[in-house]
């Protein structure tokens, strides 16, 4: 689910392929945008109007015109599938998608769809976040790692890989607290936990 606050609209991904549009003021469903596969993750564009949707079953990223309520383009990455995490780096005007097979971080130009970066990352990725303050990306992976990338004029560069725990892939970066929270499942006699990371510097 994503909220377009200026337009008072809520977008909800559902079913075998669709985005429902809800008028938040009237609390009514006002439109449906059909998609060729189930929407895994999606983000609103950096300047409004466009919506970017991960469709792993279709092996593509759909580009939606939010005002026209229709798909206007789609992007693909040859030999890459299982694109689940997604984020928008508004400052760089890039859409970042992380693929699981093989594990790759791919950044697209938000307007043209051209690939601006294609880098290896940790396996079984579940979340990716933009740290606006530091110009970084954080990828949380079930293989037991958090991968950190730094924004560069030409794309991104790997900055660090932080060991975590196998199966710990669900995360949340809270910019207002400047913390990354990682859900660590119970395993080997250890209780489930939330690990908290503070970015440096």
Q: How confident is the model over 20-34, as pLDDT tens digits?
A: 999 999 999 999 999
Phi-psi region of 27 (alpha: psi -120 to 50; beta: other; left: phi over 0): left
Per-residue confidence (pLDDT) for residue 133, from 0 to 100: 97
Note whether 65 and 50 are within 8 A (CB): yes
Q: Collect the ranges in the chain with pLDDT lower than 70.
A: 47-48
Note whether 144 and 164 are within 8 A (CB): yes
- Half-sphere exposure of 117 toward its Cβ, with a 13 Å CA cutoff? 27
Backbone φ and ψ of 190, nearest 5°: -90, 140
Report pLDDT digits (tens) over 48-73: 689 999 999 999 999 999 989 999 99
Please report the domains of the chain, with CATH numbers, ordered by start residue. 1-75 (2.40.10.480), 77-201 (2.130.10.10)
**And the tokens for 9?**
């609209």
Per-residue confidence (pLDDT) for residue 49, from 0 to 100: 86
Per-residue confidence (pLDDT) for residue 48, from 0 to 100: 66
């Amino acid at each position: 689910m994503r909220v377009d606050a200026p337009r008072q609209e809520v977008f909800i991904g559902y079913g075998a392929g669709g985005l429902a549009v809800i008028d938040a003021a009237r609390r009514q469903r006002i439109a449906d945008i059909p998609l060729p596969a189930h929407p895994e993750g999606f983000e609103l564009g950096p300047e409004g109007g466009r919506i970017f949707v991960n469709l792993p079953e279709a092996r593509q990223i759909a580009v939606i015109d939010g005002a026209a309520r229709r798909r206007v383009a789609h992007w693909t990455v040859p030999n890459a599938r299982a694109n689940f995490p997604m984020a928008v780096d508004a400052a760089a005007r890039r859409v970042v998608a992380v693929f699981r097979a093989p594990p790759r971080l791919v950044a697209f130009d938000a307007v043209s769809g051209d690939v601006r970066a294609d880098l290896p990352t940790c396996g079984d990725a579940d979340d990716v976040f933009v740290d606006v303050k530091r110009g970084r990306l954080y990828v949380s992976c079930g293989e037991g790692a958090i991968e950190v990338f730094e924004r560069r004029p030409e794309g991104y560069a790997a900055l660090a890989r932080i060991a975590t725990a196998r199966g710990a892939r669900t995360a949340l970066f809270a910019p207002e607290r400047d913390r990354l929270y990682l859900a660590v499942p119970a395993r080997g006699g250890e209780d489930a936990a939330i690990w908290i990371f503070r970015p440096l510097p």
